[in-house]
Structure 1
Amino acid sequence: MRETETKKGLKARIAELADELTASERKIAGVILADYPYGGLVPIQELARRTRVSAPSITRFVAKIGCNGYQEFQRQLIGELKQRELSPIELKVTEAPARGAHFLIDYTHRLMRQMKFMAENMPLQQFDKVCSLLTDTSRNIFILGGRVTDGIAFLLSIHLHQIRSRIYHLPSNAELWPEYVLRMRKQDVVILFDVRRYQPNLAELARVISEQRQSIVIAVTDKWLSPVAAHSTHIFAVPIELKTAWDTQVCLLTLVEAMIMRVSEADWPATRKRIESWDQIRFSLSNRKVAKKKKVASEK
């Protein structure tokens, strides 16, 4: 199996080959993806019954996505299922310590390898399409991350606020989400960040948005694919593994910064005008606050 295949989850590999699948293979993929990963953990005879496709056709399908037989396909599914929930304590057991180099140098090299992998495997047309959506000022943009990734989601929202209007960063309190969901329209964009140890409420939020508001949901996740992906129009599966106890967010941050740059430069005159107006108000408020403090101090 090629190295790039081992780094990508089965779901991502099926999605990449969607245009190359036969009619029978599309049936198999549909049943598996409808209840992923559990749909592929049944005996091959049961999968054949559900799909109304022969067992040999299923064997050819799993070979096409890079597996040496149905048993290996199921072993990879089970492995993915376990990997999706690993904590730093469990990852510590399988970490690869630095060898022959200072820790910082080794760690930096690991990050560079993952960033290189992301750059070489990023669906560039999809990246361009998403940036085009974010550039369209007629659309509202809603952004939210998980327990760890919401910091990156907030960073994206802060920069987009300065570039264009109609940017909303959802609060972490799920009780307040209905207010934002009710604002969403069909043409609007919702970006949800969710990496392993996924948050069930984000997947439920994505489902509600997709079914009730029909907005465009974009999932920024990892190779095991958050359940959010099942309700998403666009999916970015970003590398997070470093063979350390802690997953990295550097590739997520790189993706976000690239989006910010691309969107800001799509109409630089408009971006510049907004930033100038933004800063004028911000500096005015800041100077007014300082002047007020000085006045109070002088009166004491």
Structure 2
Amino acid sequence: MSEAAMAESIRRGMGDCSPAERKVARVLLAAYPSAGFETVARLAERAGVSGPTVLRFVQRLGYRGFPDFQEALRRDLDERSASPLRIYQARGAQDGDGGTLRDRAAAVSVSTLERTFAQVSTHDLDRSVELISQASGTVVIAGGRYSSLLGRALALHLEQIRPRVRMMPDEPSARAALTEDLGRKDVLVVFDYRRYEEHTQRLARFARSRHTPIVLFTDVWLSPISSDAEVVLTSETAAPSPFDALTPVLALVEAVVAGCLERLGDAAIDRMARADRAADDLALY
């Protein structure tokens, strides 16, 4: 197991656990990573299981014991909060000895993309398509400092094939008004990546209080929003630069768009045709 992907590994491995071990996993993910630094006795108490159940769970994850698990968790936390500057300093400046820029970029990008699709389950991808395409209300999309760029890409595509798609506005009063409208018939799609942003988490908590389903795009360390999300789509972050890769996320976005187009069928095609006619009438392009 990759230590950098501990939270995602816990989430994905729950299906192989006993019912009691799944209780431990849920407690860990609901308060990740802080719950993992508690004692075995305290974690067992919170999960409503025995101490030996906690130990069996961490051994199932591949650790020799609880201290080994906590040491891995510390390293995971360092990775989870790493800034681009820290990543650059840890990696060292690239001096070109590893081949040409083209070859280095191609190798890491292809590997990151392959690992991303290998870890995304068919169920999660299909469920995200179902929620987004079949929502009878509004699909509201929100992101952070960089991830909002990916959200806008999703919004631009979805609005071509279904009605009522909104990107969360930056202007405070408009943002408050759209948030206040959230309800059971809507879907909130959130993009949140390491150094997770508090304003995005507050939005997700509000949506959850309104019983609005949440589709989360995040990294392998898992945004805190994952405990509130109905579907979590994770992507790897390795890139030629110290900045987290956007390409794997965009590939997942494109897969979701393709799935929504297939699910909506003729209704989506008709909408695209009407939009083309409107564009012609308005001489837009």
How many percent identity over aligned positions? 26
Provide the rounded CA distance (Å) in 1 between the counterparts of 2:175 and 2:277: 32
Q: Secondary structure at the match of 2:29?
A: helix
Pair 273,89 (structure 1): closer, same or farther in 2 beyond 3 Å: same
Q: Secondary structure at the match of 1:218?
A: strand
Q: Which has the higher contact order (CA 8 A, sep 6+)?
A: 2
Provide the rounded CA distance (Å) in 1 between the counterparts of 2:255 and 2:47: 41
> Aligned-pair distance for 1:174?
4.5
Provide the rounded CA distance (Å) in 2 between the counterparts of 1:227 and 1:148: 18
> Aligned-pair distance for 1:18?
2.1
Matched length = 283
Pair 120,30 (structure 1): closer, same or farther in 2 beyond 3 Å: closer
Letter in 1 for 2:42: E
CA deviations on 1:252-289 (whole Å, 9 max, x unpaired) are 000001111221233443222212211222232236xx
1:92 maps to what in 2?
88
Q: Secondary structure at the match of 2:59?
A: helix
Q: 269, 274, 292: which is aligned to 2:271? A: 274
Q: 12, 18, 22: which is aligned to 2:14? A: 18
Q: Secondary structure at the match of 2:2?
A: helix
2:74 maps to what in 1?
78
Provide the rounded CA distance (Å) in 2 between the counterparts of 1:145 and 1:51: 32
- Say whether residues 1:9 and 2:5 are aligned partners: yes
Question: Does the Cα contact within 8 Å between 1:189 and 1:216 map onto a contact in 2?
Answer: yes
- Say whether residues 1:225 and 2:222 are aligned partners: yes
Provide the rounded CA distance (Å) in 2 between the counterparts of 1:132 and 1:201: 27
Provide the rounded CA distance (Å) in 2 between the counterparts of 1:165 and 1:181: 18
Question: Does the Cα contact within 8 Å between 1:137 and 1:166 map onto a contact in 2?
Answer: no
- Say whether residues 1:47 and 2:43 are aligned partners: yes
Q: Any stretches of 5+ residues in structure 2 without a counterpart?
A: none
Please identify the structure whose Cα radius of gyration is greater: 1
Question: Does the Cα contact within 8 Å between 1:7 and 1:223 map onto a contact in 2?
Answer: no
More displaced 10-residue stretch of structure 1: 192-201 or 243-252: 243-252
1:239 maps to what in 2?
236
Pair 158,40 (structure 1): closer, same or farther in 2 beyond 3 Å: same
How big is the alpha-carbon RMSD for the aligned residues of Structure 1 and Structure 2? Answer: 2.2
> Aligned-pair distance for 1:7?
6.1
Report the TM-score when normalising by structure 2.
Answer: 0.91
Q: Secondary structure at the match of 1:94?
A: helix
Q: Secondary structure at the match of 2:283?
A: helix
Provide the rounded CA distance (Å) in 2 between the counterparts of 1:65 and 1:187: 38
1:252 maps to what in 2?
249
> Aligned-pair distance for 1:74?
0.8
Question: Does the Cα contact within 8 Å between 1:31 and 1:39 map onto a contact in 2?
Answer: yes
Letter in 2 for 1:195: Y
Provide the rounded CA distance (Å) in 1 between the counterparts of 2:139 and 2:36: 35
CA deviations on 1:150-182 (whole Å, 9 max, x unpaired) are 011001101111111011111134443221122
Which residues of 2 match residues 140-159 of structure 1 at below 5 A? Answer: 140-159=138-157
> Aligned-pair distance for 1:49?
4.5
Which residues of 2 match residues 165-184 of structure 1 at below 5 A? Answer: 165-184=163-182
Question: Does the Cα contact within 8 Å between 2:135 and 2:186 map onto a contact in 1?
Answer: no
Provide the rounded CA distance (Å) in 1 between the counterparts of 2:260 and 2:112: 24
> Aligned-pair distance for 1:69?
1.7
